[in-house]
Chains A and B, each alone.
Chain A
Amino acid sequence: MMLEIKDLACGYGAQFSLSDINIKVEKGEMVGVIGPNGSGKTTLLRAITGILKPKTGTVLFNGKDIRRIGIKELSRSMAVVSQGADTGSATVEEFVLLGRAPYFGNFQFLETERDIDIAEKAMKMTDTLKLRQRPMSEMSGGERQLAVIARALAQEPKLLLLDEPTAHLDIAHQVVVLDLIRRLNKELGITIIVVLHDLNLASEYCHRIVLMNKGKVYKTGTPEEVLTYPVIETAYNTVVVVEKNPISSKPYVLVVSEEERQRKKI
């Protein structure tokens, strides 16, 4: 078991934004987290990374309570790709090398050959090696996202958490990023938890989906189990039609406009 969340409740300030969370993630899985805005997806990620302390319950990482794992040790096995994080003014290479910081000793301030090797591999894997000398501030949205993933890879994580890695990207870049994440999952055996807004991308790429609603886990299961119209309509409070993707035969969620709804009297 890579990650086990037991009866977790946590939040900001007095009100509990997450409660009764029970999630298990096996080694080698790719799990998508979906849910309406404000349903607690990002909060869940912050609870897993230990930034948000649980009020009750525990988060077990490899069978160990994350509160008992040192922050430096944790960052050597868990990497996070946050949403719209500041990337500073460093070059791509310098930025990716920051991913090696968890492996630095106290008085070490230069990277070893090994660090540089690993950063190079991460850049090769994410196809950012050709951009290495360019400053992060000049990257396009897609390139920037790939560089952030390269930095996470340089941490050599066993568990990779991503918060909406495809936000603000066109469909071509969405596919590039998710294909890459899928490849990391398959080839490097990295366990993935990815927050996605796009239900169809979650359906297409994830082994399992966790649907959050109002700070609780609403439903967990394979895409076929979670992405059914009664489930989605209740969680999102929206009329949808669920079809099958003709190529992959995964469920495909379609929305219906107000005009059409009135015409068809749904």
Chain B
Amino acid sequence: MRQRLSAWIACLLILGCLLAGVCIFSLSVGSVGISAKNIISIFFEGKNSTEYNILFNIRLPRILLGFAIGGALSLAGVISQGMFRNPLVEPYTLGISGGAALGVCLNIVLGLGHSAGLISLPLCGFIGAALVIALVYSLSRKRGTVKTQSLLLTGVMISFICSSLVMLIMAVSRAEDIHGIVFWIMGSLEEPSWGLIKLTALISVAGLFVSYIFCSDLNALSLGEEEASHLGVNVERTKLALFLLASLLTGASVAVAGIIGFVGLTIPHLVRMVLGSDHRIVLAASFLTGGIFLILCDTLARTIISPLELPVGVITGILGGSLFVYALTRTRTVLGER
């Protein structure tokens, strides 16, 4: 037991170092290259220099947002895969992304952005996500209990309906609106509001802490709902709490950064392949790995064809997908199959 605990701490330390490394790398590369050595001296001396501005007003917010959203999406992935006991579930499966996309779509087409300012886009996204969550949950609730399978199916169906509605709106809207919608759907960590970035980071880190209240319940749930209740888990209450937590994390991420795919699906799997299935380590390790992964992907997205920028969702898909397939072919135990 002692060994396991020290192994866990060692692994978190390694991830912490990796995170620091990726942050420094991401700070130093870009259209203006700044060597890692200079970063500290710029921080202390050049408050008004261009380099300071690039580092701390352009690159740092993106890194922080990448960390927050990568972490939140991976955490939501671990929680929903654990709760549904289904390795193919990801944060977007339940229709949250569809709802957010629909909200943003309506915002753009109806031109709410002009009257309410920049904040209205994430706000509409979040409202859309929240409405879908409430709808999916109330539809799958029967006689006080929620069957996870019907929750999943309802979520998938609502997701389809939402994306069809998005297509419908796109089909009848003007070209420049379509561009805005497509751009949003592809996902980007470009976010001008510091306040919103801080809020997202706060939600994301708070989510990690809250998830630890349920870590042993998640372990018990891996044996099945009935077994978990034999082990003293109040299954209905836990499912509701986990569902809300995963939804909040996903909803906040999607509202701010659009639909960044693959992080929530692949990172939990990669972490479990290396560290086993104990949620006490998987939650924190996935959070950190997700953050590292998204910062790295975003750095690639903005440097590969610099000064142009690729959508980060494209990079996460290509990189995450190939990483995942590689890991699958290397390990014999596939997705916890027995």
A binds B: yes
Residue positions of A touching B, CB distance < 8 A: 49, 51, 71-76, 79-80, 82, 85-90, 94, 98-99, 101-102, 104, 106-111, 116, 137, 155
**Closest A residue, CB atoms, query B235:** A71
Whether, in the assembled complex, B280 has its beta carbon less than 8 Å from a beta carbon of chain A, the answer is yes
A-contact bits for B210-236, CB 8 A (1 contact / 0 none):
001101110110111011011111100
Across the interface, do A101 and B223 meet the contact criterion of CB distance under 8 Å?
no
A94 adjacent to B1 (CB under 8 Å) = no
A75→B222 contact, CB < 8 A: no
- Verify A106–B213 contact, CB threshold 8 A: yes
Query: Which residues of chain A have C-beta atoms less than 8 A from B216's C-beta?
Result: 101, 104, 108-109
Contacts of A107 in B (CB 8 A): 212-213
Query: Interface on B for A, CB 8 Å cutoff?
Result: 1, 5, 212-213, 215-217, 219-220, 222-224, 226-227, 229-234, 276-278, 280, 333, 336, 338
Residues of A within 8 A of B227 (CB): 80, 82, 85-86
Bound state CA distance, A73 and B213, in angstroms? 18
**Chain A residues whose CB sits within 8 angstroms of the CB of B215 once the complex forms:** 109
A71 to B237, CA, bound (A): 12
CB neighbours (8 Å) of A74 from chain B are 232
Tell me the bound Cα distance from A223 to B213 in angstroms.
48
Minimum distance in angstroms from A9 CB to a CB of chain B: 18
Given A89-B338, A99-B231, check contact A109 B280 (CB 8 Å): yes
**A49–B232 alpha-carbon span in the complex (Å):** 11
B226's contact among A51, A71, A137, by CB below 8 Å, is which? A51
| Cβ-defined contact, B276 with A75, below 8 A | no
A49 CB to closest chain B CB (Å) equals 6
A182 to B226 Cα, complex, angstroms: 26
Q: Can you list 18 A-B contacts with CB-CB less than 8 angstroms, sorted by A residue number? A: A49-B229, A73-B232, A82-B230, A85-B227, A86-B223, A88-B277, A89-B333, A98-B223, A99-B231, A101-B220, A101-B231, A101-B233, A109-B215, A109-B216, A109-B280, A111-B1, A137-B333, A137-B338
The answer to whether A88 touches B223 (Cβ under 8 A) is yes
Within the complex, the shortest CB–CB distance from B283 to chain A, in Å, comes to 10
Q: How far is the CB of B165 from chain A (nearest CB, A)?
A: 36
Task: Give me 19 other A-B pairs in contact (C-beta within 8 A), A90-B276, A137-B333 excluded.
Answer: A49-B229, A71-B234, A75-B229, A76-B232, A85-B227, A86-B223, A88-B277, A88-B336, A89-B333, A98-B231, A101-B220, A101-B233, A102-B231, A102-B232, A106-B213, A107-B212, A109-B280, A110-B280, A137-B338
- Beta-carbon contact of B277 and A79 below 8 Å: no
Distance from A94 Cβ to chain B, minimum over Cβ atoms (Å): 7
Rounded to whole angstroms, the CA-CA distance of A136 and B50 in the bound complex is 59
Task: Write out the residue numbers on chain A whose beta carbons fall within 8 Å of the beta carbon of B277.
Answer: 88-90
State the CA gap A165–B233 with chains docked (Å): 23
Give the complex CA separation of A111 and B2 in angstroms. Answer: 10
Q: In the complex, what's the smallest C-beta–C-beta distance from B182 to chain A, in angstroms? A: 41
On whether the beta carbons of A87 and B213 are closer than 8 Å, the reply is no
Interfacial chain B residues near A111, Cβ < 8 Å: 1
* A168 shortest CB reach to chain B, Å: 16
Identify the closest chain A residue to B217 (Cβ): A101
A158 to chain B, nearest CB (A): 15
Indicate the member of A71, A106, A107 with the most B CB atoms within 10 Å.
A71
Could you tell me the distance between the alpha carbons of A74 and B233 in the complex, rounded to whole angstroms?
11
B333 touches A75 (CB 8 A): no
A82 to B222, CA, bound (A): 15
- Closest 8 pairs (CB-CB, A-B): A75-B232, A102-B232, A72-B232, A80-B230, A137-B338, A88-B222, A101-B231, A86-B224
Are the CB atoms of B276 and A71 closer together than 8 Å? no
CB contact between B219 and one of A98, A102, A116, A137 (< 8 Å): that residue: A98
A86–B5 CA distance with the chains assembled, in angstroms: 26
Residues of B within 8 A of A116 (CB): 1
Query: Given the complex of chains A and B, what is the CA–CA distance between A51 and B277 in angstroms?
Result: 27
- Decide: B230 and A98 in contact? CB cutoff 8 A: no
- A99 vs B232: C-alpha distance when bound (angstroms): 10
B156 to chain A, nearest CB (A): 23
Q: CA separation between A49 and B228, bound complex, in Å?
A: 12
Return B236 CB to nearest CB of chain A, in Å: 10
> B283's closest neighbor in chain A, by CB?
A109
Nearest CB of A to B176, in Å: 51
- Inter-subunit contact A109/B230 (CB<8 Å): no
In contact, A85 and B224 (Cβ under 8 angstroms): yes
Nearest chain A CB to B229 CB, angstrom units: 6
Q: In the complex where A89-B277, A90-B278 touch, is A109 in contact with B212 (Cβ < 8 A)?
A: yes
Specify the chain A residue showing the minimal Cβ separation from B279.
Answer: A109
Q: Is the CB of A71 within 8 A of B229?
A: yes
Q: Which residues of A contact B276 (CB under 8 A)?
A: 89-90
Contact of B232 among A51, A71, A86 (CB under 8 A): A71
Max chain B Cβ within 10 angstroms of own Cβ: one of A73, A90, A99, A108: A90
Residues of B within 8 A of A104 (CB): 216
Task: Give the most central of B1, B231, B277, B336: most A CB within 10 Å.
Answer: B231
Residues on B with beta carbons closer than 8 Å to the beta carbon of A86: 223-224, 227
Chain A contacts for B232, CB-based, 8 A: 71-76, 101-102
Separation of A67 and B234 alpha carbons in the complex (Å): 13
